[in-house]
Structure 1
Amino acid sequence: MLKLFKLLGNKRLFVILIALVMFIALMGFTLGPRANLSWPEKFLRDTVGFVQNIFYKPAGYVAGLFKDIGNMRDIYKENEQLKIALAQYTREKANYNFMEEQNKDLQEALHFTEAQKEKYNYSYHIAQVISVNSDPVNRSLVIDLGARDGVKVGQSVISVKGMVGVVSHVSNFTSTVKLITSMDAKDPNSNGIAVTAMNNHQTFGIVESYDEATQMLIMTQIKQGDPIKKGDTIVSLGDTDKYPRGLIIGTVESVQESQFGKTWTAMIKPAAEFQDWKQLFVVFTPEEQK
């Protein structure tokens, strides 16, 4: 007992002992079957909940902010990838359209040249247009074939649809083509084209001028009683080296009596389209191929 009193004499140990007894009693009280919480428990829970709420909401906001930033970064990367994919698709689509159009043009050119070879023993060299001179006094264009390709002055140049012009100048790598829309009967250097009708070889005339106002070629020296009529396809007769036989010139739009009343004159709509140039063909006759 004396030892116990000595121990109790220590105030600090006494306080700890009392607190331990109260804690055990409180545990026993709370563990018992009860419907309601005691006020210390309520106070403790409310305090803990309040403190958790203070720290949880800001932490949730911060966590959500970082999550949103991460999502924005992912969306930005996806957007960049989509932009790159779209740009690549646009380039590939443009390349596809270009190759498709080029393939179509080459197929038409192949079909055209094969059909012409079956009709006449000519060869056709495909040429690309480099430049166009739209000056009314000197309508011409430049192609990418020249002397190294066997091109000579006087050779005919055509499109898939019809006659375009004649080679007037040749350099090593390029050639100048004088268009038939620059033909003028008053020009001593302008040679007329002897022509006939594709389905009626009794027709004969000379195409030697171009009317700027009507955008028609003028066919003259047609004899009275000639069976020529509107809608006839006019082709070169081939009586000169400059214009081989069978080159399509155009279509008859009208026929009328000439100024002096002894012959007829026909207005010919050119078959070739003198705009949006693509491929042209330089015509090589058998003599020029040797």
Structure 2
Amino acid sequence: MNKLFNRNKMLMILFGIIVLILLIGFSMADRDSTTKAEQFTADATAGTQTVIGAPLNFVGNIFSTISKSFGALEENEKLQAKLDMLPQMEADIERLEAENEELREALDVSSKREYDTTAARVISRSPDQWLDSFTIDKGESDGLTEGMAVMTTEGLIGTVRRANGGSSYIEMLTTSVSQNNLSVEIMHDDEPVYGNISRYDNERNLLVVENIKNRSGLEEGDEVFTSGLVGDFPEGLIIGTVVEVENDEYGLSQNAYVQLKSNVDDIDTVFVLNRSPESMED
């Protein structure tokens, strides 16, 4: 009984192998069409792949969308940061353009003078001495010495009171110390009228020029220059404009009130005048 069962089993296995070989050979043969079994197997496989692939593709698309969203958000943040910096960039450009214009004006003025100039920046100015002094970023190492005239692009503003190695202390015309013996000439009808700066009127924000001869004919609008007669200041440096003329208290001379050309509240770039020995002799 057992032998018979084993023999039948062996026959079935051999028959199965033969059928398998025939199927393989049949499927490898060149044919223009597929069998129903092959079609069923292919359709079932494709359907299975579609069913399995759909959720996978859906999840993949979600992750791809999220990733792109994070990338867009980061890019938007960068663009927003650049937009936030635009006002500062515009302010920097305006400031640099103003500084360049000041330097061009300084070079234009200095090119018309008979002396060398040293451009400098204001680096310190004390609020409690706003009308008295300030400090610049040039000193003895740049050839500056005590007594040199200091100008803005508009006109004379002060004098070097103390020169250090890399900086200098500038005393302004609005102080009483630097006004001592500062002789000026006021041009009226192309004729010079002489006087000297005595003080600065803090209430009116005007320089006071005294010792002007009577009946000088001075009037509003006459321009005031350094005379070059006293001290190391060159002749012809513009100081300001006459806004009022009056007789002194004794009636022996006249006083002139002068509006400075330079804006004492806005001093950023200045240039120091270095007179050559030849111009000093002249």
| TM-score, length of structure 1 as denominator length | 0.68
Indicate how the Cα distance of structure 1 residues 225 and 132 shifts in structure 2: closer, same or farther if over 3 A, else same.
Answer: same
Contact preservation (8 Å) 1:203, 1:227: no
How far the C-alpha of 1:240 sits from its partner, in A, is 2.1
Structure 1 residue identity aligned to 2:125: V
Gaps spanning 5+ residues in structure 2: where?
A: 1-51
Indicate how the Cα distance of structure 1 residues 257 and 128 shifts in structure 2: closer, same or farther if over 3 A, else same.
Answer: same
What do the CA deviations read for 1:86-131 (whole angstroms, capped 9, x no partner)?
467677656544443332222122112123x2xxx12211111111
What do the CA deviations read for 1:18-40 (whole angstroms, capped 9, x no partner)?
xxxxxxxxxxxxxxxxxxxxxxx
Indicate how the Cα distance of structure 1 residues 289 and 232 shifts in structure 2: closer, same or farther if over 3 A, else same.
Answer: closer
Q: Give the Cα separation in 1 of the matches to 2:210 and 2:195.
A: 6
Q: Give the Cα separation in 1 of the matches to 2:73 and 2:244.
A: 68
Q: Give the Cα separation in 1 of the matches to 2:233 and 2:125.
A: 22
Indicate how the Cα distance of structure 1 residues 146 and 255 shifts in structure 2: closer, same or farther if over 3 A, else same.
Answer: same
Q: Give the Cα separation in 1 of the matches to 2:242 and 2:163.
A: 33
Q: Give the Cα separation in 2 of the matches to 1:289 and 1:206.
A: 22
Q: Given the alignment of the two structures, is residue 241 of structure 1 paired with residue 231 of structure 2, yes or no?
A: yes
Structure 2 residue identity aligned to 1:105: E
Q: Give the Cα separation in 2 of the matches to 1:63 and 1:280.
A: 67
> Residue in 1 aligned with 2:115?
122
| TM-score, length of structure 2 as denominator length | 0.70
1:82 aligned residue (52, 76, 79): 79
Query: Alignment identity in percent?
Result: 27
> Residue in 2 aligned with 1:69?
66
Where 1:76 maps in the other structure, the secondary structure is: helix
Q: Given the alignment of the two structures, is residue 203 of structure 1 paired with residue 193 of structure 2, yes or no?
A: yes
Structure 1 residue identity aligned to 2:101: K
Where 1:110 maps in the other structure, the secondary structure is: helix
> Residue in 2 aligned with 1:36?
none
Q: Given the alignment of the two structures, is residue 255 of structure 1 paired with residue 250 of structure 2, yes or no?
A: no
Q: Given the alignment of the two structures, is residue 152 of structure 1 paired with residue 149 of structure 2, yes or no?
A: no
Structure 2 residue identity aligned to 1:129: V
How far the C-alpha of 1:190 sits from its partner, in A, is 4.9
> Residue in 2 aligned with 1:41?
none
Identify the range of structure 1 (254-263 vs 98-107) with the bigger mean alpha-carbon deviation.
Answer: 98-107
How far the C-alpha of 1:59 sits from its partner, in A, is 9.3
Where 2:125 maps in the other structure, the secondary structure is: strand
How far the C-alpha of 1:63 sits from its partner, in A, is 7.4
Contact preservation (8 Å) 1:218, 1:266: yes
Q: Give the Cα separation in 2 of the matches to 1:107 and 1:263.
A: 41
How far the C-alpha of 1:205 sits from its partner, in A, is 1.1
How far the C-alpha of 1:62 sits from its partner, in A, is 6.2
Structure 2 residue identity aligned to 1:102: E
Indicate how the Cα distance of structure 1 residues 288 and 146 shifts in structure 2: closer, same or farther if over 3 A, else same.
Answer: farther
> Residue in 2 aligned with 1:175?
168
Indicate how the Cα distance of structure 1 residues 136 and 76 shifts in structure 2: closer, same or farther if over 3 A, else same.
Answer: closer
Q: Given the alignment of the two structures, is residue 216 of structure 1 paired with residue 212 of structure 2, yes or no?
A: no
Q: Give the Cα separation in 1 of the matches to 2:275 and 2:253.
A: 33
Where 1:173 maps in the other structure, the secondary structure is: coil
1:113 aligned residue (96, 101, 110): 110
Where 1:269 maps in the other structure, the secondary structure is: strand
2:216 aligned residue (203, 223, 226): 226
What do the CA deviations read for 1:191-213 (whole angstroms, capped 9, x no partner)?
13211124533311111210111
Q: Given the alignment of the two structures, is residue 194 of structure 1 paired with residue 187 of structure 2, yes or no?
A: no
> Residue in 2 aligned with 1:100?
97
> Residue in 1 aligned with 2:255?
265
Indicate how the Cα distance of structure 1 residues 174 and 93 shifts in structure 2: closer, same or farther if over 3 A, else same.
Answer: same
Contact preservation (8 Å) 1:197, 1:203: yes
What do the CA deviations read for 1:158-216 (whole angstroms, capped 9, x no partner)?
11111111111121111111111012xxx6x8513211124533311111210111110
Identify the range of structure 1 (143-152 vs 249-258) with the bigger mean alpha-carbon deviation.
Answer: 143-152
Contact preservation (8 Å) 2:140, 2:163: yes
Aligned alpha-carbon RMSD (Å): 3.3
What do the CA deviations read for 1:209-245 (whole angstroms, capped 9, x no partner)?
1011111000101111112111011001111233210
Gaps spanning 5+ residues in structure 1: where?
A: 1-54
Where 2:108 maps in the other structure, the secondary structure is: helix
